[in-house]
Amino acid sequence: MNLKASFTTKSASSRLRFREIIVADRMTKSQRSYTMSRIKSKGNQSTELKTVAIFKEYGIKGWRRNQKVEGNPDFIFRQQKVAIFIDGCFWHGCPKCYIPPKSNIAYWETKIARNRKRDRTITKVLTGKNWTVLRFWEHSLMRPKYVANKVLHALSAIEPIDKN
Protein backbone atom coordinates (compact mmCIF):
# COMPACT_ATOMS: atom_id res chain seq x y z
CA MET A 1 0.00 0.00 0.00
CA ASN A 2 1.26 3.43 -0.84
CA LEU A 3 0.94 5.30 2.43
CA LYS A 4 1.87 8.67 1.04
CA ALA A 5 -0.76 8.51 -1.68
CA SER A 6 -3.48 7.43 0.69
CA PHE A 7 -2.58 10.18 3.14
CA THR A 8 -2.72 12.82 0.41
CA THR A 9 -6.08 11.63 -0.84
CA LYS A 10 -7.54 11.56 2.63
CA SER A 11 -6.34 15.01 3.57
CA ALA A 12 -7.58 16.49 0.29
CA SER A 13 -11.05 15.12 0.88
CA SER A 14 -11.09 16.35 4.49
CA ARG A 15 -10.08 19.78 3.31
CA LEU A 16 -12.97 19.76 0.87
CA ARG A 17 -15.42 18.69 3.55
CA PHE A 18 -14.07 21.36 5.87
CA ARG A 19 -14.65 24.05 3.26
CA GLU A 20 -18.20 22.85 2.69
CA ILE A 21 -18.90 22.99 6.41
CA ILE A 22 -17.62 26.57 6.63
CA VAL A 23 -19.87 27.63 3.76
CA ALA A 24 -22.82 25.78 5.25
CA ASP A 25 -22.38 27.41 8.66
CA ARG A 26 -22.78 30.88 7.22
CA MET A 27 -26.35 30.00 6.36
CA THR A 28 -29.50 29.48 8.34
CA LYS A 29 -30.62 25.93 8.95
CA SER A 30 -33.31 25.94 6.27
CA GLN A 31 -30.97 27.66 3.85
CA ARG A 32 -28.36 25.03 4.55
CA SER A 33 -30.63 22.11 3.82
CA TYR A 34 -31.85 23.87 0.68
CA THR A 35 -28.32 24.45 -0.52
CA MET A 36 -26.95 21.08 0.49
CA SER A 37 -29.76 19.26 -1.27
CA ARG A 38 -28.73 21.07 -4.40
CA ILE A 39 -25.01 20.59 -3.93
CA LYS A 40 -25.73 16.87 -3.87
CA SER A 41 -27.40 17.14 -7.24
CA LYS A 42 -24.29 18.63 -8.82
CA GLY A 43 -22.45 16.42 -11.25
CA ASN A 44 -25.10 14.17 -10.25
CA GLN A 45 -25.08 10.49 -10.71
CA SER A 46 -28.81 10.17 -10.32
CA THR A 47 -29.36 12.70 -13.11
CA GLU A 48 -27.05 10.68 -15.35
CA LEU A 49 -28.72 7.44 -14.38
CA LYS A 50 -32.15 8.87 -15.10
CA THR A 51 -30.95 9.87 -18.55
CA VAL A 52 -29.45 6.44 -19.17
CA ALA A 53 -32.77 4.90 -18.13
CA ILE A 54 -34.54 7.07 -20.72
CA PHE A 55 -32.05 6.01 -23.41
CA LYS A 56 -32.66 2.38 -22.54
CA GLU A 57 -36.42 2.73 -22.45
CA TYR A 58 -36.45 4.26 -25.93
CA GLY A 59 -33.75 2.05 -27.43
CA ILE A 60 -31.31 4.92 -27.89
CA LYS A 61 -27.84 3.47 -28.42
CA GLY A 62 -24.34 4.66 -29.10
CA TRP A 63 -24.07 7.19 -26.28
CA ARG A 64 -20.85 7.64 -24.36
CA ARG A 65 -20.10 9.29 -21.05
CA ASN A 66 -16.97 11.02 -19.76
CA GLN A 67 -15.47 11.63 -23.17
CA LYS A 68 -12.85 14.25 -23.78
CA VAL A 69 -14.96 16.77 -25.62
CA GLU A 70 -14.85 20.48 -25.00
CA GLY A 71 -17.15 21.56 -22.17
CA ASN A 72 -17.48 17.98 -20.87
CA PRO A 73 -20.91 17.08 -22.22
CA ASP A 74 -22.83 14.64 -20.02
CA PHE A 75 -23.34 12.39 -23.02
CA ILE A 76 -22.10 12.34 -26.56
CA PHE A 77 -22.96 10.42 -29.68
CA ARG A 78 -19.64 10.54 -31.43
CA GLN A 79 -20.71 9.26 -34.82
CA GLN A 80 -23.44 11.82 -35.20
CA LYS A 81 -21.55 14.51 -33.26
CA VAL A 82 -24.42 15.11 -30.89
CA ALA A 83 -23.54 16.44 -27.43
CA ILE A 84 -26.02 16.38 -24.56
CA PHE A 85 -25.91 18.45 -21.43
CA ILE A 86 -28.24 17.97 -18.51
CA ASP A 87 -28.25 21.31 -16.74
CA GLY A 88 -29.02 21.24 -13.04
CA CYS A 89 -31.98 23.54 -12.35
CA PHE A 90 -30.25 25.26 -9.46
CA TRP A 91 -26.70 25.51 -10.76
CA HIS A 92 -27.69 26.72 -14.20
CA GLY A 93 -30.51 29.02 -13.07
CA CYS A 94 -33.55 27.27 -14.56
CA PRO A 95 -36.24 29.91 -15.26
CA LYS A 96 -38.88 27.47 -14.02
CA CYS A 97 -37.31 26.03 -10.87
CA TYR A 98 -34.58 28.36 -9.66
CA ILE A 99 -35.32 30.01 -6.34
CA PRO A 100 -32.60 32.44 -5.29
CA PRO A 101 -31.12 31.58 -1.88
CA LYS A 102 -32.00 34.08 0.83
CA SER A 103 -28.46 34.63 2.00
CA ASN A 104 -25.19 35.24 0.17
CA ILE A 105 -27.35 36.63 -2.61
CA ALA A 106 -24.55 38.32 -4.53
CA TYR A 107 -22.38 35.21 -4.31
CA TRP A 108 -25.04 32.95 -5.82
CA GLU A 109 -26.10 35.48 -8.43
CA THR A 110 -22.54 35.80 -9.67
CA LYS A 111 -21.91 32.09 -9.60
CA ILE A 112 -25.05 31.16 -11.50
CA ALA A 113 -24.64 33.97 -14.01
CA ARG A 114 -21.13 32.67 -14.63
CA ASN A 115 -22.43 29.13 -15.14
CA ARG A 116 -25.03 30.32 -17.63
CA LYS A 117 -22.48 32.34 -19.52
CA ARG A 118 -20.18 29.31 -19.69
CA ASP A 119 -23.09 27.17 -20.93
CA ARG A 120 -23.71 29.60 -23.78
CA THR A 121 -20.02 29.77 -24.66
CA ILE A 122 -19.65 25.99 -24.73
CA THR A 123 -22.75 25.59 -26.87
CA LYS A 124 -21.35 28.17 -29.29
CA VAL A 125 -17.90 26.56 -29.42
CA LEU A 126 -19.28 23.06 -30.04
CA THR A 127 -21.81 24.25 -32.60
CA GLY A 128 -18.94 26.00 -34.36
CA LYS A 129 -17.21 22.63 -34.57
CA ASN A 130 -20.26 21.03 -36.17
CA TRP A 131 -21.64 19.43 -33.04
CA THR A 132 -25.37 19.40 -32.44
CA VAL A 133 -25.84 20.49 -28.86
CA LEU A 134 -28.89 19.53 -26.83
CA ARG A 135 -29.37 21.06 -23.42
CA PHE A 136 -31.99 19.67 -21.11
CA TRP A 137 -33.04 21.10 -17.82
CA GLU A 138 -32.78 18.57 -15.02
CA HIS A 139 -36.56 18.89 -14.48
CA SER A 140 -37.26 17.75 -18.04
CA LEU A 141 -36.03 14.27 -17.11
CA MET A 142 -39.45 13.87 -15.56
CA ARG A 143 -40.76 13.82 -19.12
CA PRO A 144 -38.85 10.92 -20.67
CA LYS A 145 -40.80 10.98 -23.91
CA TYR A 146 -39.96 14.63 -24.52
CA VAL A 147 -36.26 13.99 -23.91
CA ALA A 148 -36.20 10.83 -26.03
CA ASN A 149 -37.94 12.56 -28.94
CA LYS A 150 -35.47 15.42 -28.94
CA VAL A 151 -32.51 13.06 -28.86
CA LEU A 152 -33.93 10.73 -31.52
CA HIS A 153 -34.68 13.70 -33.73
CA ALA A 154 -31.15 15.07 -33.37
CA LEU A 155 -29.67 11.65 -34.11
CA SER A 156 -31.86 10.92 -37.11
CA ALA A 157 -31.35 14.38 -38.56
CA ILE A 158 -27.69 13.56 -38.99
CA GLU A 159 -26.31 10.63 -40.90
CA PRO A 160 -23.59 8.81 -38.96
CA ILE A 161 -20.21 9.97 -40.24
CA ASP A 162 -18.83 6.48 -40.85
CA LYS A 163 -21.92 5.10 -42.55
CA ASN A 164 -20.54 5.17 -46.10
CB closer to Zn ion, 49 vs 142: 142
User: Given the rule CB under 5 A, which of 43-51, 59-67, 86-94, 104-112 is the region that contacts Zn ion?
Assistant: 86-94
Binding mask 3-42 for Zn ion (x = CB under 5 A): ----------------------------------------
Query: What is the closest distance, in whole angstroms, from the C-beta atom of residue 38 to Zn ion in the complex?
Result: 12
Query: What is the closest distance, in whole angstroms, from the C-beta atom of residue 162 to Zn ion in the complex?
Result: 36
Binding mask 90-109 for Zn ion (x = CB under 5 A): ----x-xx------------
Residues binding Zn ion: number (CB under 5 A)? 6
Residue from 90, 134, 97 nearest 112 by CA: 90
d(C-alpha 29, C-alpha 163), whole Å: 56
Within the chain, strands assigned E span: 75-77, 82-87, 132-137
d(C-alpha 112, C-alpha 75), whole Å: 22
Residue from 36, 123, 113, 38 nearest 73 by CA: 123
> Using CB under 5 A, which of 85, 108, 131, 137 touches Zn ion?
137
d(C-alpha 155, C-alpha 106), whole Å: 40
Query: What is the closest distance, in whole angstroms, from the C-beta atom of residue 61 to Zn ion in the complex?
Result: 27
Binding mask 116-135 for Zn ion (x = CB under 5 A): --------------------
d(C-alpha 34, C-alpha 18), whole Å: 19
115 interacts with Zn ion by CB under 5 A: no
- For residue 104, count other CB atoms closer than 10 A to its CB: 16
Under the rule (CB under 5 A), what is the footprint of Zn ion? 89, 94, 96-97, 137, 139
